[in-house]
Amino acid sequence: MEKLSGNQKKKFVHGVFESIAGRYDVMNSILSFRRHKAWRKFTMKKMQVRPGQTAIDVCCGTCDWTISLAEASQTGKMVGLDFSANMLEVGKRKIEEKNRQQQIELVEGDAMKLPFPDNTFDHATIGFALRNVPDLVQVLKEMKRVVKPGGQVVSLELSKPTSPLFRRIYLFYFQKVLPVLGKLFANSYEQYRWLPESLVSFPDYQELKKLMEEEVGLEVEVYPLTFGITALHLGRKPVE
C-alpha cells in the first residue's frame, strides 16, 4: 500500500474502523491471543486512578478502556471520544449494559483537535490507536493540553520487539498471517492488512518515549510488555 498523506490516512482509517466495528472485539481477542485484556489491567494498576477522578479516552473505539476508567473512578466524569460512529454505537451498548450512562459521555470527534478546554481532566488515555492517527505528536499535545498539571497522558500501543529474531517473526505474523485471519474471521482482508502496515513506520517504545519527552514535554515512564510487542507509556504533565 502506498504511503498516505495526513488527510488520506484519516479518511482511510475512518473507513477501516467503520467497516470492522461489529467484529472489532472478537478480532482483538483472536489477534492478541487475549493478551490485550491483561495489558489493560496492568495499565490500570500503574495509572492508579482514584475515586472521583476524570478522564478522556481518546480514540476510545468500543469503549472497553473507557468503562474500566469509569469503574476505577466510581463517580468521576468520563469521556470516550472517537471519529467512528459505528465504533461508538458498539461502545454505547456496552455502557448501557454496565449502567454507566450517567457517568460516561460519548463524543464523535477528532483526536487532533479535542473539543475541551485546557486542564479539564485528570487522565487522558489512548489505546492501540496512536499509530493510526495522522500526526501522533499533535494528538499527544492535545492530550497534554486537556489534562490538569500533574495529570497523566497514557498510551498503550503495539510496539516492536527488541530481539532481532523475535522482531522478524513478529512482523511476519502481523504482515502475512494477521490479514489472513482477518479474512477468515471477519471477511476483512484489506482492513486487517492495514493494521500491520501501520506498525512498520511507527516508533518503537524507546523512540516513542524520547518523542513524548522532547517534543510533547511530558515526564515519561515506559513499560515494554510481552517481549516488547506492546508498550505502556505513562506521561506526566509537569506542574508549572
What is the band of 228 on the pLDDT scale with cuts at 50, 70, 90?
A: confident
Share of the chain above pLDDT 70, in %: 78
- Kindly provide the b/e burial profile for residues 34-66, where b requires at least 16 CB atoms within 10 angstroms of the residue's own CB: eebeebbeebbeebebeeebbbbbbbbbbbbbb
The CB-side HSE value for 165 (13 A sphere, CA atoms) comes to 0
Residue (of 128, 140, 117, 115) closest to 65 by Cα position: 128
Residue 203 has pLDDT above 70, yes or no: yes
The model carries a pTM of 0.86
DSSP 9-25: HHHHHHHHHHHHGGGHH
Q: Report the alpha-carbon distance of residue 234 to residue 81 in Å, rounded.
A: 20
40-63 mean pLDDT: 97
What confidence tens digit (pLDDT) does each residue in 6-34 have?
566 667 666 666 655 556 665 565 565 56
